[in-house]
Structure 1
Amino acid sequence: MNFQDLFTFLTELQQNNTKEWMDNNRKWYKSLRNDFILWLDDLDLTMAQLDDAYYPTPGKKGINRINNNLMFHPHKPIYKDHFGAGLDKAPNSADFYIEVGVKQCLLAGGFWRPDSKTLRSIREGIDYNGEELLEIIEKPSFKKLFGGLYEDERLISAPKGFTNDHPHIELLRNKTFAVELQLDKKEVLKENFKEKIKEVYMEMLPFLRYLNNAATV
């Protein structure tokens, strides 16, 4: 995968974010998209060897559309400024997300604003065994890599069914349970980028599996 060519394409796309430009450069886009899918296929096979519970996700299934959803976000540009994909993508489960873009590159995983049923299950899992989650996210190597949970909207008080003096109230107030690692473009362009992804995934894995167990109970 030629990520430098991808960065060049995305930069020019953002400077000419129109359907006309995309139509004139669709061959370039399709070539990069196909290469990215093949790269994802190879990465998927590699990651499947890291964990028996990994959910195989072919590149075509994992890759996101480059078009923004203008029905819900009419003020956004027509096209995104990145290529993104989700792997380890079992239904109704936390996935592992990769984004390579002009403004940011990142690796992330977890649940971003899950539906009410899933969110309730995660909170009940924390109520039952929040100590395990705390142990995971407070591990020094985890904190060094991710800092902490992804900062998103949170409830002001306790969610329904829980009290404000709950020992894990700070966790329970979250609406999103995810972590992310911002990457520099130079890291993406390095030959060992795949090794970096494996390292991040393995550090994130206990967190993902805890969430999946909580969400499915």
Structure 2
Amino acid sequence: MIKSETLKFFTALAENNHRDWFMAHKDEFEVVKENITDFAGEVIKSLSKIDPLVDPATDPKKCVMRIYRDIRFSKDKTPYKTWLGIHKFTAGKYTGGIGYYIHIQPGQSFAGGGYWLPEGDHLKAIRQEVDYNADELKAIVDAPDFKSMFGEFRDQEQLKGAPAGYQTDDENISLIKLKSFTAVKSITDKELQQKDLIDTIAAIFEKIYPLNTFLQQAVSTT
């Protein structure tokens, strides 16, 4: 589980996002990082039982994102993220950006997966797979338990018109027009601190695994 001290640290950092404060509280951050890394290790073991592409021996330190922001091209020059993400559970075994993700931030935490904003050939390949095998995708995203957990899959950002090569009256155009193919579930601060958090995350990722498999099938030959 995520400790209350971890959430309190991020809240304080959001109010004091500058180097002097961070350096004065570096020891607290190390404890926060250890908490999240330990949690990532538990997630890896749990997810490896769901997705065979996840190696249970994966080093959790490699899955926890850095706290430092890249401010080179940003107008916002605050140096630190006020959250931490956990990703790359499959160590590159999924193609492109397909995978799982956990975001830890007071009041804004979530777990999700799929493929966010695929570009170029991958996007074309996914749309083609949807066109050819829409029933397979709809069986995943329209399943009652999937919709209950993640909401309507088609509510993600879409193109205003049909992509080149597709017709606006295509029965699956609402899926073909999607810019992302993701599923996201919010997690409350209370849920983060419960002992069964791993079970909560596992239930989310178990529903996302068939979506990732579909997406991987689509882009594996590009």
TM-score (norm 1): 0.91
Summarize the Cα distance change of 1:152–1:141 in structure 2 as closer, same or farther, 3 Å threshold.
Answer: closer
For residue 217 of structure 2, what is the aligned residue in structure 1?
A: 213
What SS is found at the alignment partner of 1:97? strand
CA distance in 2, matches of 1:73, 1:102: 23
Task: Spell out the pairing of 1:1-150 with structure 2 (5 A cutoff).
Answer: 2-54=2-54, 57-75=58-76, 77-86=78-87, 87-90=89-92, 91-149=95-153
CA distance in 2, matches of 1:89, 1:163: 38
Shift of 1:19: 1.1
Consecutive unaligned residues in structure 2, runs of 5 or more:
none
| Equivalent pair of 1:81/1:103 in contact (CA under 8 Å) | no
Per-residue CA deviations over 1:77-123 (Å, capped at 9, x if unaligned) read 32222111112353525111101112311011011111212111111
Per-residue CA deviations over 1:127-186 (Å, capped at 9, x if unaligned) read 110111111111000000000227543211111222222221111111111010011111
What SS is found at the alignment partner of 1:75? coil
Task: Spell out the pairing of 1:155-194 with structure 2 (5 A cutoff).
Answer: 155-194=159-198
| Equivalent pair of 2:109/2:186 in contact (CA under 8 Å) | yes
Q: Which AA in structure 2 matches 1:192?
A: D
Shift of 1:53: 3.4
What SS is found at the alignment partner of 2:152? coil
Shift of 1:76: 6.0
Summarize the Cα distance change of 1:187–1:164 in structure 2 as closer, same or farther, 3 Å threshold.
Answer: same
Consecutive unaligned residues in structure 1, runs of 5 or more:
none
Summarize the Cα distance change of 1:78–1:52 in structure 2 as closer, same or farther, 3 Å threshold.
Answer: same
CA distance in 1, matches of 2:151, 2:118: 22
| Equivalent pair of 1:94/1:208 in contact (CA under 8 Å) | yes
CA distance in 2, matches of 1:89, 1:74: 32
Q: Percent identity?
A: 26
CA distance in 1, matches of 2:106, 2:30: 18
Q: Give the alignment's Cα RMSD to 1 decimal.
A: 1.9
CA distance in 2, matches of 1:55, 1:127: 32
| Structure number with higher relative contact order (C-alpha < 8 Å, ≥ 6 residues apart) | 2
What SS is found at the alignment partner of 1:99? strand
What SS is found at the alignment partner of 2:153? coil
Q: Which AA in structure 1 matches 2:67?
A: I
Summarize the Cα distance change of 1:53–1:5 in structure 2 as closer, same or farther, 3 Å threshold.
Answer: same
Paired residues, number: 217
